[in-house]
Structure 1
Amino acid sequence: MIETDDANTAQQLAEIASRYHATPRHEAASADALSDLVVVPTLREAIVSNILKPGTRLIEVALTRQLGVSRTPVREAFLQLEREGLVTVVARTGVFVRQVTPRDVDEIYTVRSALESLAIELAARQLTAVGKAQLDEALEAMHRCVESADPVGYTEELDGFYAIVMRLADNAVLQHTHDSLLGPVRRLRRIAMSSSGRMRASYEQSVRIRDALTARDGPSAALLIREQLANACTAAKAVLQASAGG
């Protein structure tokens, strides 16, 4: 059984947590604040990055030491990560990083397709010059990652591209619903980008999405989003299948 108290994992978790501890914040350092601002983002990043691999048992006592917090925010973080579908809490046994199944992939991409195609149509109706400039800047960063063969950096920049689209849609309910999927979505993006050629294909499709947005052609942009997500879904499932076969 893989656990979070091995030396290499512990060091990586402590390094991630130190960045979140260093982030300026005005909230009192309550258990809720530490859970939301340090523990949840640290564990989410570690799971998405595959530092904490599927099946890893999360040891509460070890995590309090590695993340520099008390046990309460760690327990609260477990509940939040369970809601996000990143961990499984097994009564009287422990907390484990959740395995990703083909069904998970299908379900998440189905919901993403509905939410993001709606967001892109809303964004197309009210695209501003500032919004276009933000999309252009995100695409430039994505292109640099493609050229330098940096899939981790690319997925981070792709996160930014979609975050801009969601802001441009300017719908609080849609944004909140989409935010609830961010943990699993980022995890699946990392999986999909490990497929050969996927990163460049994603970038080229994102350029076409930007062009449709600029033309204020919401239906075409929505179609392109659905194509993008269908391809990503296929790539993610192919990686999982190859991993299972290995």
Structure 2
Amino acid sequence: MSTAADLLRTAGLPLLEARILLMHVLGWRRTELITRDRESLDPDAVARFEALAKRRLNGEPIAQLTGRREFFGLEFDVTPDVLIPRPETELLVELALESIADVANPRVLDLGTGTGAIAISIAHARPDARVWAVDRSTAALDVARGNAHALLDATRTGGPVAFVESDWAANIDPSLLFETIVSNPPYIASDDPHLAQGDLRFEPRGALTDDADGLSAIRTIIGTAPFLLTTNGALWLEHGYDQAESVRELLKARGFTNVRSMRDLAGIERCSGGLFTA
């Protein structure tokens, strides 16, 4: 009979990844991997772990294998229909929360919501915020709705997150005005070799690349955002490691002020934004 120690030793994976998969299969906490590591395991559990380990060795992302990913202190369901939330995107949430810090009952729009991680994290941190989350993918919106149901208090004062199927802001009620708009759009250029490497191979292509120069979605969002922002409303965008200067120029050309880029924990200019005052 195999034990947890046996499986961790023979999985052929980095130890952290093997632990995550084994905890997922067994329903154990990390401490139990230490205190119960010599227990004989059920053969079905061993088979399930070995199947997941094989899939991971073939490159499938951990988050898709477990169906879960932590983001901004919350656990989100993840499927192959959505982009896996990443730690660097937490900066976008922080910037959005900073931009509405002094606003009562703020209205926030998240364009390209995917799992709903950004919109739901904002709604969770600000129970009074009224949040709209947009995606053109019906499957992604199904995932996001499920996450909102699981993670948000049904009695929050801002009400439930409004999910809208739309190509960017096309289907947003034009009478709505938002204090803050945020987006983590597809910004990888179509010829970027990273699209054929690592986890990206298993994520929805449309959430990663615009199949152009990596800036077309950003241009669309910057072009339409002023029609949806309140006076001095903020727009914040996540972008690629080498796109900050280009995004700042696009924002300035559209009339945004106080344009700046913010660095993530790796020191990369990861998000750019500004205020629209016209």
Which bin holds the TM-score, normalised by the shorter protein?
Answer: under 0.3
Larger strand proportion of the pair: 2
TM-score (norm 2): 0.25
Structure exhibiting the larger radius of gyration computed from Cα positions: 2
Larger helix proportion of the pair: 1
Compare relative contact order (CA 8 Å, sep 6+) and give the higher one, 1 or 2: 1
